[in-house]
Amino acid sequence: MLLREVEYARPASVQEALRLLGANEGARALAGGQTLINVMKARAASPDVLIDLADIGELRGIELGADGTLELGAMTTYTDIINSAEARARPILGEVCNQIADVQVRNRGTIGGNVCSNDPTNHLPPLLVAIGATMTIVGQDGERSVPAAEFFLGVYMTAAGPGELLTKISVPPGKSDGFASVPIGKEGTCIVNVAASLNGGAGARLAIGCVDAVPVLLTPDSTEGDAVRKAVREANLDPPWDVHASADYRRHLAEVLALRAVAQAAGRK
């Protein structure tokens, strides 16, 4: 398919990337391109300028801090995360990345691209909300940190605005996490997905994906089945319906998958 004509630059530093993003209206950052190139084919996005982040080494890599905090560069690919010894400090990260699409997409798709595209069916937005990740965003005015729960603003919209870049995702230490989904075919697009994390006190952090424009965060005060079910019911989810599932079925899945995700997380205490 022929893309619309587009301008291109491949800067070597975050500073230069920010300058180019700021200087060109209609510029977009190009990470792995596994979403953006396709939506450009379909003309669902038509950026005038692509700022390719491939040469910016500081955006890649995974570091495990002394306190157990993982820092993942936004340009780190799913395959990098799956194969990283450091990333196993939070095992759910590699496990979920290994369920995304296929080998080819995992080889090029990035954690930053996944969250910045914020397709409501993506795997990583609910996961990062549940495990309490923090996003680092840089712009012309400097750097700021945004909790994942406040990063996702709407369909395809995040706190990283025009002229800004997501540079890093920080993940606190922890192990008792779960992720459950019903995808369209094995490792396909999710119909509903739920991430759970039990790393603070008696309750759980649940984030439900695919049922709203952004992940729905629930914090039942107990991990008992009844408490989890009640929390999902009281959220009064109003999911979309389509050829794959009715709204009622998605509501049903949200409850069932919440239980499964919590059970998986509880098994890893």
Partner 1 sequence: METVSRKTITVDVNGEQYEREVDVRRLLIHFIRDDLDLTGSHIGCDTGNCGACSVLVDGVLVKSCMMLAVQAEGAKIETVEGLAAEGELNDLQQAFSDHHALQCGYCTPGMLMSATALLRENKTPSEDEIRKSIQGNICRCTGYVNIVEAIQAVSR
- Binding to partner 1 by residue 18, rule CB under 8 A? no
Q: Which is nearer to partner 1, 41 or 144 (CB)?
A: 41
Is residue 8 part of the contact set for partner 1 (CB under 8 A)? yes
Pull the structure tokens for residue 142. Answer: 């400097």
145 sits near partner 1 (criterion: CB under 8 A) = no
Q: Does 140 bind partner 1 (CB under 8 A)?
A: no
Is the Cα torsion angle 155, 160, 97, 236 positive or negative in sign? negative
Q: Does 14 bind partner 1 (CB under 8 A)?
A: no
Q: Which residue's CB is nearer to partner 1, number 4 or number 144?
A: 4
Binders of partner 1 among residues 170 to 189 (CB under 8 A) are 186-187
H-run or E-run covering 212: none
User: Three-state DSSP class for 268?
Assistant: coil
Contact flag: residue 5 with partner 1 (CB under 8 A): yes
Q: What track of x and - describes contact with partner 1 for positions 186 through 205 (by CB under 8 A)?
A: xx------------------
- Minimum distance, C-beta of residue 108 to partner 1, in the bound complex (Å): 6
Cβ-based burial of 94 (10 A; exposed 0-12, middle 13-18, buried ≥19): middle
Let me know if 114 is exposed, middle or buried by CB neighbors in 10 A (0-12, 13-18, 19+).
Answer: buried
DSSP secondary structure, 179-225, as one string: EEEEESSTTS-EEEEEEEE--SSSS-EEEEESSSSS-EEE--S--SH
Residue 82 neighbours by CB distance under 10 Å:
17
- With a CB cutoff of 8 Å and minimum separation 6, the contacts of 249 are none
Read off the tokens for 256.
């069932």
Considering the rule CB under 8 A, would residue 9 count as an interface residue with partner 1?
A: yes
Nearest approach in angstroms of CB 121 to partner 1 is: 15
Work out whether 217 is an interface residue with partner 1 (CB under 8 A).
no
Half-sphere exposure of 10 (CA within 13 A, CB side): 5
Distance CA 252, CA 11 (A): 47
Query: Given candidates 65, 104, 238, 246, which one binds partner 1 under the rule CB under 8 A?
Result: 104
Question: Alpha-carbon distance 239 to 248, whole Å?
Answer: 8
101 binds partner 1 (CB under 8 A): yes
Under the criterion CB under 8 A, does residue 67 sit at the interface with partner 1?
A: no
Q: How far apart are CA 138 and CA 144, in angstroms?
A: 6
Hey, which residues between 19 and 58 contact partner 1 (CB under 8 A)?
20, 24, 33-34, 37-38, 41, 49-50, 52, 54
Query: Does position 102 bind partner 1 by CB under 8 A?
Result: yes
What sign results for the dihedral spanned by CA atoms 50, 55, 56, 59?
positive
Q: Which of 44, 63, 65, 107 binds partner 1 (CB under 8 A)?
A: 107
Among 45, 82, 105, 247, binds partner 1 (CB under 8 A): 105
Residue closer to partner 1 (CB basis): 28 or 251: 28
**Residues in contact with partner 1 by the rule CB under 8 A:** 1-11, 16, 20, 24, 33-34, 37-38, 41, 49-50, 52, 54, 101-105, 107-108, 186-187
